[in-house]
Structure 1
Amino acid sequence: MKDVTNSSRTKRFKMNHENFSFKDIFQKSDKYGTKIRWLYLVLAIGVTIYYYVALPAIHYAAPEFWMMLFVITLIVIIIESLADGMGLYDQVKAGTDGGKGFKWKLPLKYKLLIYPWPILLLVAFVSNLIFSPIFMADSFANMIKIETKDFSKDFPETDMDHITLVDRDTAERLGDRQLGALTELVSQFEAADDYTQISKAGQPFRVSPLEYAGFFKWLNNFSKGIPNYIQVDNVTGKVTLEKPAQPIKYSYSDMFNRNVLRKLRFAYPFKMFSHPSFEVDDEGNPFYIATTYGRHFFLKEPKVTGLVTLNAMTGATQYYPLNEIPSWVDRVYSSDLLMHQLEMHGHYSNGFFNSLFAKNGVTEPTKGYNYLAIGDDLYMYTGITSVVADESNIGFVLVNMRTKEASMYPLTAAEEFSAMASAEGSLQEKSYTATFPLLINVGGDPLYILTLKDNSGLIKQYALVDAQDYQEVYTAPSVKKLLADYAATNQIEDAKVVDESSLETITGQVENIQATVVDGNSIYYFMVDGQVYRADISLSDRLPFVEEGDDLEFKAGQDGRVVEIMGDFANSRGESVDSTEGRNSDEAADPLTENLDAVESDASSEE
């Protein structure tokens, strides 16, 4: 008689697989493994906590998303293996396994969990090879479009009111000093590390919010929010604590759903963000700005797709495509992304293999950059050098950080680090360290302007270096004197001429008076009989003592510019008197120098 046991068992196995559906993949394979599958609840809780903390973008090009999926898949395989193994062990132990023992064929559910991963890795490898500079050098080079211009004609003439010499390190020192003087605030808050470079209403500033000084300070204050943000004038170094219309309720120091990253991720779970930066609009309202990204070549180079703004006061979010970004936003394209794309442009404009062997026309940006505020926009500046000659630049690039419009100015000049070394060498005995320079245009001539710091990070001198002849260096203890020395040496005259016939003698009571800084010099704006007038501190050393209600006599032109102070507030000897011992009048009039000296004084007292 024919034994049909094995054939019937095989027939049942085939029938089971023919009737298989996706609904059955993760159902219990047997009644013995049920006690293991409660681990899926632990997995669900773990995934929820991980997502809440790590905040990965649910996007095909986000590596953190695939890593999360891989870990989840791995844990599911482990749980199913434990469940199936326990069930099989119970069957063998009870003798109900039909004599199969531990002979076990890989079920379909494991194949569906495991097999996609090698396929995904193969797709990633092949796509990265196909969409690489080897085959697409032109596409990599053209990620940024650069227009060639003439420096003497097209490079913006430098506005001396906008020379941004306050770097990030100096801004932090000034901001910390200002906050430290306010006992009530500093006991609860501290300055955040942002100090974002922006252009606000055409003026260059660095801004940074306050943040809670620890968990318990957050508990004490989170219901009220953060009352201020720090604003540092990049020209004068003047620090103000700005108070927005409402307290800041969303920041990096906030916990749970008021954290900036968490708020943005829950609002836009499918978008990839850059690190949101702190900015303020022209009215002083605080925002966090997050650039959104896609990919240029499937899985490779980041491509800016738009922008999300988060109102730091209300939590309101808004997405803007690239063609609708508000004009007050300064930083859509990050400096790192622009530097990378400039590097790709320089390397691959003449082909991939040329970049490896002949290197004909291969260029790259220098290893540093700086910012220029031009009009209402912020520009990133960097030099361009040949890869075969790193001691000089072949030109300079300006890139609008909001629109990515890039301009190349071909100009043979010293590389920035050579200019820095030259400036340091001019005061070699002081052992000062130069900051990365800023390129300016003075009368069509390219100049580097930079600061020289001591070992404590305090600014001691300012330097001008001729970009084409970096051995020509000017140094001075103040910006005003530095520019004056350069103007005198190069016979640059002040173009401001006063028409004596247009002057009017005015006597009246001061209704309001405010001091500001222009061109490194203290300027007083005051109102008499409803008219606004402008007076330079050099006209009288007694201007700082003028108060509302004082009678003032002066001569002014039709444009409101005061040319002479008379009466009680005229200088007794008819000249500017420097009340700062040990300084000449040029140095005393420089508010940036005064602000930095105050920081130095604080640092010395701490030591």
Structure 2
Amino acid sequence: MPVKDVTPNSASSFNKINKIKKFSPRYLYLVLMIFLSIYYYLVLPPFHYASLDFWIFLAIALIGVFIIELFTDSSGWLQKIKNQNYQSLEIKGIKLPKKYRWFFIPIPLLLLLALAGHLIFSPLFISKQYANLIQPVTKDFKSEFPESNIDQIPLVDRDTAVRLGNRHLGALTDLVSQFEASEEYTQINISAKPYRVTPLKYAGFFKWLNNFKDGIPHYLQVDNVTGKVEVKSPEQPIRYSFAEHLGRNIYRHLRFNYPFNIFGQPSFEVDDEGIPYYIATTYGRKFFLREAEPTGLVIVNAMTGDHQKYELDEVPGWVDRVYSAELIMHQLNLNGQYKNGFWNSLFAKEGVTEATEGYNYIPMNDDLYLYTGITSVVADDSNIGFVLVNLRTKESSMFPLSAAEEFSAMQSAEGSVQETGYKATFPLLINLQNKPMYILTLKDSSGLIKDYALVDVQNYQQVYVAPSLTQLMKQYAEDQPLDLESISQENLQELTGQVESIQAVVQDGQTMYYFMMDGKVYQAPLALNEFLPFVQEGQDINFTVDTEGSIYSVDLSKSFGDNADEEATVEETSETTVDPLIENVN
């Protein structure tokens, strides 16, 4: 019987081992470089010592080098196995070369440095520096909190703006087949008026393939007061946004041009001329990598990709957001916790405060302010004051004022309409002729605004609820001294015409007069003018009207002489067509 020759197989095994020995590590390094390039392109870590993403990227690179070197050196061990021809081999241990120490020695040193720095620069030793990251200046509410203009109260919150924008875009069949509204809806000021703006985005990857050469033609602009939605068309299409892929993705565009900067989330803004931009704040670290702090910002033209970096003291006046709301809230909490020292924050807790869980935005003087309440850590249901922070300059004001906490006011408003099940939105603080008031909206289960509420800041059980802003102010004026004309700063105009028809209707025990003029219907209660019962068809009547169509006074002197020259607030029932999502916002 012939003997089976296994020599070729053994030779083949030795050849494989020899191939491993001759394999050059440069191919593996090429693979590693390709992998790191893809990782960098997707993750976009900054080359900055204060970025965790940078250290993760560096760790991946070092681990890759370690594996390649280990694989290359292991060929020597395989050579020893080959030389013993697979016979019994006792491996007592493999001693790694000295070069591998460079992979391990820095790790404990870096960890030790991080722990030491974390302790030395902690609030235990420098609590005052933590508290001084933001320093609210104490001011008087009556003299220094701007009096509110009821024509410019931004009661359209983000949720309602999203619903309005999506519904408006859905009605434009030529756009909705290719685009949809982005989720950004940034609140900004345009020519001192509050809006939320958001660009369109491609409705899926294949829609991007069809349209990316032409770019995004429009952005949405939602009026935060009236809820009016406009589709704006900039001079050129938007080519740089979060909806883009490859090099035109806004974050990738920023990273490739500024590889060494740490960026916050870029925000979409529009200047007063309607030019769309992305605003990206750059960050550094204070207290040995512990606290983020803005160092400047980069403005990118969303149409052309042109970009410019600014220092904090060079920021253009039209920019509304440099400091994020999350950063401001965090620093307010640090200020309240450590302003009287570290040990006080743990034990005595004298004067220790914190910001309430919610916040809102208030437009003032063409700037955007973050508003939130300040409460003591030992009291849960009341505020000791309010803070306004300019999101462009971080200028901060503290208004000491004993008041109900915002969520208590929300619950009180919900309790006033508990049979409806409406839910309150986070309130705004307004100044009604030197009296602080919360104003908020009440929504049904579908997210539609049904009612508006005023809650007394200092007595949150006093609540006024009405289906329109005009009715709300009128209801409040019945109990409080309030000159509606003085708190409406819009230009007023007079409207004069003949009464075409008039009817008296009793509602809830009150006589209301409905009359038609120029094809439009108005209503006024009898208490406004004692001569209303004598008004007849064909008589002249005069109204004082603001630019939004809200009527503030009625003058019957042309029909009944000077004795009938009395002004009182009336409300319009059908002056304008109002979006049902924000019923009767004037």
- Please classify the TM superposition score into its range, dividing by the shorter chain length: 0.7 to 0.9
- 1:542-564 per-residue CA deviation (whole Å, 9 max, x = no partner) reads 589xxxxxxxx99999x999999
2:370 corresponds to which of 362, 376, 380 = 380
CA distance in 2, matches of 1:396, 1:560: 32
Residue 488 of structure 1: how far off its partner (Å) = 2.8
CA distance in 1, matches of 2:549, 2:67: 83
- 1:375-411 per-residue CA deviation (whole Å, 9 max, x = no partner) reads 1100000000000001000000000000000000000
- 1:541-589 per-residue CA deviation (whole Å, 9 max, x = no partner) reads 5589xxxxxxxx99999x999999xxxxxxxx99xxxxxxxxx954544
Measured at CA, do residues 295 and 560 of structure 1 come closer, stay the same or move farther in structure 2, by a change above 3 Å? closer
**Percent identity over paired residues:** 55
Matched, 1:364 2:350: no
Match in the other structure for 1:75? 64
2:194 corresponds to which of 204, 209, 212 = 204
1:297 corresponds to which of 287, 290, 305 = 287
**SS of equivalent to 2:231:** strand
Matched, 1:596 2:582: yes
Residue 94 of structure 1: how far off its partner (Å) = 2.6
Contact 1:479 1:520 in 2 (8 A): no
What RMSD over aligned residues (CA atoms) do the two structures have, in Å? 3.2
Matched, 1:406 2:392: no
Residue 156 of structure 1: how far off its partner (Å) = 0.8
Q: Which amino acid aligns with 1:247?
A: P
Matched, 1:252 2:242: yes
Match in the other structure for 1:513? none
Residue 159 of structure 1: how far off its partner (Å) = 1.5
CA distance in 2, matches of 1:381, 1:345: 16
Q: Which amino acid aligns with 1:292?
A: T
- 1:44-97 per-residue CA deviation (whole Å, 9 max, x = no partner) reads 10000000000011100000110111121112111211211122221442369x
Match in the other structure for 2:111? 121
Q: Which amino acid aligns with 1:357?
A: F
Matched, 1:272 2:262: yes
Contact 2:549 2:576 in 1 (8 A): no
Contact 1:31 1:87 in 2 (8 A): no
Match in the other structure for 2:82? 93
Q: Which amino acid aligns with 1:50?
A: Y
Match in the other structure for 1:474? 464
TM-score by length of 1: 0.79
User: Which residues of 2 match residues 180-329 of structure 1 at below 5 A?
Assistant: 180-329=170-319
Aligned residues: 510
CA distance in 1, matches of 2:577, 2:116: 60
Measured at CA, do residues 71 and 560 of structure 1 come closer, stay the same or move farther in structure 2, by a change above 3 Å? closer
Measured at CA, do residues 108 and 561 of structure 1 come closer, stay the same or move farther in structure 2, by a change above 3 Å? closer
Match in the other structure for 1:420? 410
Matched, 1:390 2:380: yes
Match in the other structure for 1:346? 336
CA distance in 1, matches of 2:196, 2:490: 18
Matched, 1:172 2:168: no
Residue 178 of structure 1: how far off its partner (Å) = 0.8
Measured at CA, do residues 522 and 257 of structure 1 come closer, stay the same or move farther in structure 2, by a change above 3 Å? farther
- 1:314-361 per-residue CA deviation (whole Å, 9 max, x = no partner) reads 001110000100000000000000000000000000111111111110
Contact 2:469 2:584 in 1 (8 A): no
Measured at CA, do residues 323 and 595 of structure 1 come closer, stay the same or move farther in structure 2, by a change above 3 Å? same
Measured at CA, do residues 446 and 560 of structure 1 come closer, stay the same or move farther in structure 2, by a change above 3 Å? closer
CA distance in 1, matches of 2:462, 2:294: 42
Matched, 1:63 2:49: no
CA distance in 2, matches of 1:495, 1:480: 12
Q: Which amino acid aligns with 1:354?
A: N
Contact 2:138 2:400 in 1 (8 A): yes
Matched, 1:142 2:138: no
CA distance in 1, matches of 2:480, 2:378: 34
Measured at CA, do residues 562 and 134 of structure 1 come closer, stay the same or move farther in structure 2, by a change above 3 Å? closer
CA distance in 1, matches of 2:25, 2:441: 67
Measured at CA, do residues 394 and 81 of structure 1 come closer, stay the same or move farther in structure 2, by a change above 3 Å? same
The runs of 5 or more residues in structure 2 that have no matched partner are 1-18, 496-514, 522-539, 552-558, 561-569
Q: Which amino acid aligns with 1:434?
A: A
Contact 1:556 1:563 in 2 (8 A): no
Match in the other structure for 1:5? none
2:451 corresponds to which of 461, 469, 492 = 461
Residue 118 of structure 1: how far off its partner (Å) = 1.6
Q: Which amino acid aligns with 2:377?
A: V
Match in the other structure for 2:40? 51
Contact 2:262 2:284 in 1 (8 A): yes
Contact 1:414 1:467 in 2 (8 A): yes
Contact 1:478 1:586 in 2 (8 A): no
CA distance in 2, matches of 1:522, 1:242: 28
Q: Which amino acid aligns with 1:208?
A: T
CA distance in 2, matches of 1:185, 1:243: 12
CA distance in 2, matches of 1:34, 1:396: 70
CA distance in 2, matches of 1:522, 1:589: 15
Measured at CA, do residues 540 and 328 of structure 1 come closer, stay the same or move farther in structure 2, by a change above 3 Å? farther
Contact 1:235 1:592 in 2 (8 A): no
1:132 corresponds to which of 118, 122, 146 = 122
- 1:167-213 per-residue CA deviation (whole Å, 9 max, x = no partner) reads 00000010011101100000000000000000111000000000000
CA distance in 1, matches of 2:76, 2:300: 53
Measured at CA, do residues 92 and 340 of structure 1 come closer, stay the same or move farther in structure 2, by a change above 3 Å? same
CA distance in 2, matches of 1:430, 1:364: 33
CA distance in 1, matches of 2:72, 2:161: 60
**SS of equivalent to 1:240:** strand
CA distance in 2, matches of 1:113, 1:325: 44
Contact 2:550 2:572 in 1 (8 A): no
Match in the other structure for 1:24? none
Match in the other structure for 1:3? none
Match in the other structure for 1:162? 152
Residue 117 of structure 1: how far off its partner (Å) = 1.6
CA distance in 1, matches of 2:235, 2:342: 54
Residue 145 of structure 1: how far off its partner (Å) = 1.4
- 1:203-257 per-residue CA deviation (whole Å, 9 max, x = no partner) reads 0000000000001111111111111100000001011001111110111111100
**SS of equivalent to 1:358:** coil
**SS of equivalent to 1:122:** helix
CA distance in 2, matches of 1:266, 1:561: 47
TM-score by length of 2: 0.81
CA distance in 1, matches of 2:404, 2:308: 44
Match in the other structure for 2:98? 108
Contact 2:491 2:547 in 1 (8 A): no
